[in-house]
Chain A
Amino acid sequence: MNRLAAAIASRAAIIVPYLWLLVFFLVPFLIVFKISLSFTAISMPPYTPTFDLSEGWAAFTESLSELSFENYLWLRDDALYFNAYLTSVGIAAVSTFLALLIGYPMAYAMARAPDSLRPLLLMLVILPFWTSFLIRVYAWIGILKPEGLLNQFLLWLGIIDAPLIITGTYAAIYIGIVYSYLPFMVLPLYATLEKMDFSLIEAAQDLGSTPAGAFWKITVPLSVPGIVAGCMLVFIPAVGEFVIPDLLGGSQTLMIGKTLWNEFFANRDWPVASAVAIVLLLVLVVPIMFFQQAQAKAQERDR
């Protein structure tokens, strides 16, 4: 009996995550996908057709035939969407690069810090999460706006004569994204660098490599898993970021997250908004899948 219970328990332990993914990922995805194939309608919900099994199987199959890829064609034909995707990916890529540039030295310094100091440093990286994301982004408005802290400080130092206009520009978006997502870059980098055996660096130097040479030939290649993880954790959410461009970037910034929001709330066009969301998902998932496959192959070769 006990063995049977144990067998059931171990099965359940495997099933729970699958069930979770099914209910909270696959089903919502299918619903959004279905909506993206529908048409707007002035009704509740604001699209047609809606599936209803109460009217019988024939009615269900008929409504199925009403679905079409019209919305996707619409996305293709309107340059607005293409440009929005492009800018989003571009901004996310630059932000990721900047976060890597700032995050790597931070993670490296943390990994090489004395053991007693590391928990504190780790705490400092995580500390911002104690405050709401939204409030932190609002705080940046206070810092960056023309009469904000930064400008006052620079004016006081005499470095500038007139306030810099930062809010409402792409620069503000970069600052916001890099600031907000930096911990997601630092943490995986720290995790890989901390595991690294620093006698490898000594070995490289012992064999005639300068400290800089050892860094590029040993440290960087060995921290690739951390770099990849960090870049993904920053890049993926940054592409679809809505709050930061909305609050810091002002009205003229064209990013896909904002476009999505506009379609959904301003235009009340759920089907097009859903299509935008599906395409965004594909834009992100497909390259990552290829990348992971390539990595798996490389690992296979190593075995």
Chain B
Amino acid sequence: MKSLGSIRRSFAPWADPNAKPFIAFENVTKRFGDFTAVDNLTLHVYEREFFALLGASGCGKSTLLRMLAGFEEPSSGRILLDGQDLAGIPPYRRPVNMMFQSYALFPHMTVEKNIAFGLKQDGMPRAEIEKRVAEMLKLVKLEQFARRKPHQLSGGQRQRVALARSVAKRPKVLLLDEPLGALDKKLREETQFELMDLQQQLGLTFMVVTHDQEEAMTMADRIAIMDKGEVMQVATPAEVYEAPASRFVADFVGSVNIFEGRIAGRADGGVEIATPDGITIRADDSSAAGEGTVWYAVRPEKIRISSQKPDNPALNAIEGEVWDIGYLGDMTVYNVKLAGGQVVRSSELNSQRTTHDPITWNDRAWLTFPADAGVVLTR
């Protein structure tokens, strides 16, 4: 059997200009009274994709999911699934199933009956239902819990029943609303990989809503980052992290240092950014142009910290004072205060930390990073 990674690496229908989107939100707006939950949003998701909607609560990601499920109708715009306009189709006739955040298991039915519920609605013959239910129980490893009721199960088991119930009908799209939100950290990490496995096994299109960036980064082929009803960026996890499109995205995903400044000059296919505090940063990013304010965003793990000024003149080097040190086990985080008052964060893996150069509180320290460590943002 091929590993998950090898299958996923070659999977990139969004890069293919001829690929037809499987789910298409076309200029969708949803208003609740005066509040605009989703604002003129266009988004394409491809077949068999594991797609994540990431955003803070109230950003409209759940509304988007509920519109696809049919619980809400768009105020304007249209939603297409496999070429079919979903307008006016009630939830019970849509070929999508949803796994609810609360799981919404029917408390008066056994695990078996919960899973069989959707199949019965379709009028599937009894023998076939039994076969499918057994198959689903095996898939989520709950065979011996078939006769239990939801309140007799643990949180993780309930989550798997909810999952089995929502995939039992083999929907075209499975919608997952914060699927791991109610689980504790350890279980959540295990389940992330189980979900990915399941998606590959069943060959379904998954659309997951989450506020947990780690969850989205781990599981999804692509992530849409949402804010105030709009999509800020749609890209693969690596692109979102390495090449954020805006300060919002850079700041939302992971932690980031942002230097504000103006473009002062150009050199070697890069730019020089001068900050008001008198720092000059060289960036290997010539895409940025113009007169306005720009921002240089660099991740803490790309910044090295040392007590001596580095020799290499090609590196950016900024001097400051160690303000705070956080030891996290696998790495150590340094907060360094610059002369202008800005606090810059640098993190170093403890496996690479040099013990002969101990840096401690209130030390003078140099922060160094290469020109290609960060990105230049214009918004």
- Residue among B91, B106, B118 making CB contact with A200, cutoff 8 Å: B106
Interface residues of B in 65-102 (CB under 8 A from A): 69-71, 90-93, 96-98, 100, 102
- 14 A-B pairs within 8 Å (CB atoms) are namely A199-B102, A200-B106, A203-B100, A205-B71, A205-B91, A206-B97, A206-B98, A207-B169, A208-B122, A209-B92, A209-B117, A210-B92, A221-B108, A222-B108
Q: Does A302 contact B (CB under 8 A)?
A: yes
- Chain B residue with the shortest CB-CB distance to A198: B104
Q: Does A52 contact B (CB under 8 A)?
A: no
Taking the nearest CB of chain B, how far is it from the CB of A293, in angstroms? Answer: 20
- Residue among A200, A208, A302 making CB contact with B104, cutoff 8 Å: A200
Residues of B within 8 A of A217 (CB): 117
In the complex, per-residue mask of A190-202: 1 if CB is within 8 Å of any chain B CB, else 0:
0000000101101
Let me know if A208 and B106 touch, CB within 8 A.
no
Let me know if B104 and A205 touch, CB within 8 A.
no
Residues of B within 8 A of A202 (CB): 69, 71, 91, 98, 100, 104
* Given A197-B104, A202-B91, A209-B92, 8 other A-B residues pairs in contact with their CB atoms under 8 A: A199-B100, A200-B106, A203-B104, A204-B106, A206-B96, A208-B121, A209-B121, A217-B117
**Size of interface on B: residues with Cβ below 8 Å to A:** 27
Let me know if B92 and A199 touch, CB within 8 A.
no
- CB < 8 Å A-B pair total: 62
Q: Does B132 contact A (CB under 8 A)?
A: no
- Chain A residue with the shortest CB-CB distance to B117: A207
Q: Does B107 contact A (CB under 8 A)?
A: yes
In the complex, per-residue mask of A79-96: 1 if CB is within 8 Å of any chain B CB, else 0:
000000000000000000
Q: Does A119 contact B (CB under 8 A)?
A: no
Q: Interface majority SS on A: helix, strand, loop or mixed?
A: helix
- Complex alpha-carbon distance, A221 and B117, angstroms: 14
Q: Does B188 contact A (CB under 8 A)?
A: no
- Complex alpha-carbon distance, A202 and B149, angstroms: 20
- The winner among A197, A199, A206, A213 for most chain B CB atoms within 10 A is A206
Which residues of B are at the interface with A, using a C-beta cutoff of 8 A? 69-71, 90-93, 96-98, 100, 102, 104-108, 117-118, 121-122, 149, 151-152, 165-166, 169
Residues of B within 8 A of A303 (CB): 152
Let me know if A208 and B169 touch, CB within 8 A.
yes
- Chain A residue with the shortest CB-CB distance to B116: A207
Let me know if B107 and A222 touch, CB within 8 A.
yes
- Chain B residue with the shortest CB-CB distance to A202: B71
Q: Does A106 contact B (CB under 8 A)?
A: no
Taking the nearest CB of chain A, how far is it from the CB of B263, in angstroms? Answer: 51
Taking the nearest CB of chain B, how far is it from the CB of A267, in angstroms? Answer: 51
Taking the nearest CB of chain B, how far is it from the CB of A105, in angstroms? Answer: 21
Taking the nearest CB of chain A, how far is it from the CB of B360, in angstroms? Answer: 53
Q: Does A218 contact B (CB under 8 A)?
A: yes
Taking the nearest CB of chain B, how far is it from the CB of A128, in angstroms? Answer: 33
- Residue among A197, A208, A221, A302 making CB contact with B92, cutoff 8 Å: A208
- Complex alpha-carbon distance, A202 and B62, angstroms: 14
- Complex alpha-carbon distance, A217 and B107, angstroms: 12
Which residues of A are at the interface with B, using a C-beta cutoff of 8 A? 197, 199-200, 202-210, 213, 217-218, 221-222, 302-303
Given contacts A199-B102, A302-B149, contact A206 B91 (CB under 8 A): yes
- Complex alpha-carbon distance, A303 and B149, angstroms: 9
Let me know if B169 and A199 touch, CB within 8 A.
no
- Complex alpha-carbon distance, A219 and B71, angstroms: 18
Residues of A within 8 A of B169 (CB): 207-208
- Complex alpha-carbon distance, A197 and B107, angstroms: 10
- Residue among B106, B149, B151 making CB contact with A203, cutoff 8 Å: B106
- Complex alpha-carbon distance, A188 and B100, angstroms: 28
- Complex alpha-carbon distance, A218 and B104, angstroms: 11
Nearest first, the 4 A-B pairs at minimum CB distance are A207-B118, A208-B121, A203-B104, A199-B104
- The winner among A200, A213, A221 for most chain B CB atoms within 10 A is A200
Taking the nearest CB of chain A, how far is it from the CB of B122, in angstroms? Answer: 6
- Residue among A197, A204, A210, A222 making CB contact with B117, cutoff 8 Å: A204
Let me know if B97 and A207 touch, CB within 8 A.
yes
- Chain B residue with the shortest CB-CB distance to A213: B121
- Complex alpha-carbon distance, A208 and B94, angstroms: 8
Taking the nearest CB of chain B, how far is it from the CB of A199, in angstroms? Answer: 4
Taking the nearest CB of chain B, how far is it from the CB of A300, in angstroms? Answer: 13
- Complex alpha-carbon distance, A218 and B107, angstroms: 9
Residues of B within 8 A of A209 (CB): 92, 117, 121
Residues of A within 8 A of B108 (CB): 221-222
- Chain B residue with the shortest CB-CB distance to A218: B106
Residues of B within 8 A of A221 (CB): 108
Taking the nearest CB of chain A, how far is it from the CB of B218, in angstroms? Answer: 26
Taking the nearest CB of chain A, how far is it from the CB of B71, in angstroms? Answer: 6
- Complex alpha-carbon distance, A278 and B122, angstroms: 54
Residues of B within 8 A of A199 (CB): 100, 102, 104
Residues of A within 8 A of B152 (CB): 302-303
- Chain B residue with the shortest CB-CB distance to A196: B107
Residues of A within 8 A of B91 (CB): 202, 205-206
- Complex alpha-carbon distance, A213 and B100, angstroms: 20
Residues of A within 8 A of B106 (CB): 200, 203-204, 218
Residues of B within 8 A of A203 (CB): 98, 100, 104-106
- Chain B residue with the shortest CB-CB distance to A199: B104
- Complex alpha-carbon distance, A303 and B152, angstroms: 7
Residues of A within 8 A of B107 (CB): 200, 222
- Complex alpha-carbon distance, A222 and B151, angstroms: 14
- Complex alpha-carbon distance, A18 and B71, angstroms: 52
- Complex alpha-carbon distance, A127 and B89, angstroms: 43
- Complex alpha-carbon distance, A207 and B106, angstroms: 12
- Residue among B92, B102, B105 making CB contact with A206, cutoff 8 Å: B92
Taking the nearest CB of chain A, how far is it from the CB of B121, in angstroms? Answer: 3
Residues of B within 8 A of A302 (CB): 149, 151-152
- Complex alpha-carbon distance, A44 and B166, angstroms: 76
